[in-house]
Structure 1
Amino acid sequence: MQQSEFAGVVAMVTGAGQGIGAAVARALAAEGAVVAALDRDSGPLAELAAESSAVHPYVLDVADSQAVDRAVEVTEGQLGRVGVLVNVAGVLRPGSAVELSDEDWAETFAVNATGVFHTGRAVGRRMAARGRGAIVTVGSNAAGVPRAGMAAYAASKAAATVFTRCLGLELARSGVRCNIVSPGSTDTAMQRALWGEDAEAAERRVIEGDLGAWRVGIPLGRIAAPADIAEAVVFLASDRARHITMHDLYVDGGATLRA
């Protein structure tokens, strides 16, 4: 059996407690990586770690810059040098742009954008000094097309996307690649929280489109599974993508028509 290129590589994954983050952690562990799984909720982390001895749980709020610096230091001290960073941690506070509270806006940016800055800075400087590494930020197709009721989320994901591309430009000569995977509607707890009680009807509206919400449907005719997003992340983190950096890969079944 051919050894995976990720064998022994330390991969740090934020937001690993559920959804896309958990799928990414599982995918990297299956490829042989040693995974530092970070989330601010310890319960799901413990369940994830119980699945594989390759997954090591760390409780972390990415909005806390000092806690991020400590977590990176502890991870490298216990597991080894971080070779892959995947930013997945995110929150969604839906609501009309003119009715959003200051708190909803601030928390959304604190996790979705500032959290990416904190981890990218802490890990990126270490990767640059070592002359190699890969950073992948999970953004959203909402960063590239307006979404009604998602102003804070879309704006925060746009900020995280552009920050990651700027980081990639600055670190390119150091051999560090920085890319973005931008999912569309994906079957996660965050997505289902938007659907309400009639999940089947809500899913159908997402797939078929909703003119009342100015949304086209999904041309491929299905909601993404978290594993679909994880596959894209693993590719961009791998040496198969060694000449790809500052790229924003949409994994949305064609939902934005790549607007």
Structure 2
Amino acid sequence: MPGLFDLSGRRALVTGSSQGIGLALAKGLAEAGAQVILNGRNRDKLAEAAATIPGAETLPFDVADHEAARAAIDFAESTQGPIDILVNNAGIQHRAPLEDFPPDAFERLLQTNIASVFHVGQACARHMIGRGRGRIVNVASVNAAMARYSIAPYTATKGAVVNLTKGMATDWARHGLNCNAIAPGYIRTPLNAALWSDPTFNDWLTRRTPAGRWAEPEELVGACVFLASDAASFVNGHVLYVDGGITACL
């Protein structure tokens, strides 16, 4: 049944894809046959990332800016072709005790982690609805289901991503769109460098996770390709946890 997972002839936009999970997902989608479009704000980093994927395009814009997102996606649609797959991956982290959490950091988390999913999702969906088809894959987190000390606002944003995903499916499934989310566990990425480089936290996590280790970004590719493909044609509003079993146990 390899044809079910074949993304040949489809174009995929991955936000926050100059490094880490986003770049790994873009490479995986490309290997499945998709033409990928990388997004970020740093043009130089995007160009370096695109050079590692044959045929990759870049679309630099700030996902937290509604008008910029809509203008960039409208431009790409009109000049380069339809965006068939959207992966909303852009995200940031800030760690601090909740009683001392800076309000400006809280606002940045809201804008980057959740408002961007609305901005870019709506801009792409307006075109997808007209074509009667499209795939949206939002990147949430195990922290949508579980809290951990010092990241309460991040937890709130990822819980919101899960519920916005369900709302997207509820509104847009009737138009032929499939809207789902991936909830990664603890992945060895630059965003988590402060954690995986800390021996105490590393020891706690490996003991807490049934798989006994961190995941690598590439281990999210299969879930993303599945949700972007015809194999998931009747999967909608679903959250797929890729976490080594951490949400399955106490």
Decide: shared fold, TM above 0.5. Answer: yes
C-alpha RMSD of the superposition: 1.8
- Given the alignment, which residue of 213, 221, 226 partners 1:230? 221
SS of the residue corresponding to residue 241 of structure 2 reads strand
The corresponding residue for 2:72 is 71
- Equivalent in the alignment of 2:88: 87
> What is the Cα deviation at residue 77 of structure 1?
2.5
Compute the displacement of 1:47 (Å). 1.4
1:249 to 214, 226, 240: 240
Distance 2:73 2:126 in 1: 11
Contact map agreement 1:164 1:179 (CA 8 A) in 2: yes
- In structure 2, the residue matched to 1:101 is 102
Deviations 1:64-88 (A, max 9, x none): 0111011111221232111100000
Letter in 1 for 2:147: P
Return the letter of the residue paired with 2:229.
S
Corresponding residue for residue 57 of structure 2: 56
Greater CA drift, 2-11 or 174-183: 2-11
Q: Which moved more, 1:68-77 or 1:240-249?
A: 68-77
Unaligned 5+ segments in structure 2 are: none
Structure 1 segments of 4+ aligned residues over 4 angstroms from their partners: 1-4, 198-201
Which of the pair is proportionally richer in helix?
2
Alpha-carbon shift at residue 30 of structure 1 (Å)? 1.2
Deviation readout 1:21-41 (Å, 9 max, x if unpaired): 000110111112111110122
Task: Tell me: CA distance 1:82–1:253, structure 2 relative to 1, closer, same or farther (3 Å).
Answer: same
- For the 8 Å contact 1:10–1:79, the answer to whether it is kept is no
Would you say 1:207 and 2:206 are equivalent positions? yes
2:155 corresponds to which letter in structure 1?
Answer: A
Q: 1:206 offset after TM fit, Å?
A: 1.3
What does residue range 30-179 of structure 1 map to in structure 2 within 5 Å?
30-179=31-180
Deviations 1:8-61 (A, max 9, x none): 211010010111100011011111211111012223211111122321112121
- TM-score computed with the length of structure 1 as normaliser: 0.91
Give me the whole-angstrom Cα distance separating, in 2, the residues matched to 1:108 and 1:176.
27
Name the SS for the 1:82 alignment partner.
Answer: coil
8 A Cα contact 2:47 2:58, kept in partner:
yes
Determine helix, strand or coil for the equivalent of 1:39.
Answer: coil
* 1:116 Cα offset (Å): 0.3
1:181 Cα deviation from its structure 2 partner: 0.3
Aligned to 1:5: 6
- CA contact 1:34–1:79 (8 Å) conserved in 2: no
Identical aligned pairs, as a percentage?
37
Distance apart, 1:148 and its partner CA:
1.1
Structure 1 pair 258/113, CA: closer, same or farther in 2 (3 Å)? farther
Tell me the alpha carbon deviations over residues 161-200 of structure 1, each in whole angstroms, 9 at most, x when there is no partner. Answer: 11111011111111101001000100100111334xx545
**Which whole-Å deviations, capped at 9, do the CAs of 1:217-253 have from their partners, x for residues lacking one?**
1001121110111221111111101110100011111
Query: What is the deviation of 1:129?
Result: 1.5
Cα deviation code 1:88-110 (max 9, x no counterpart): 00000111111111101000010
**Count of residue pairs the alignment pairs up:** 249
Q: What amino acid maps onto 1:121 in structure 2?
A: Q
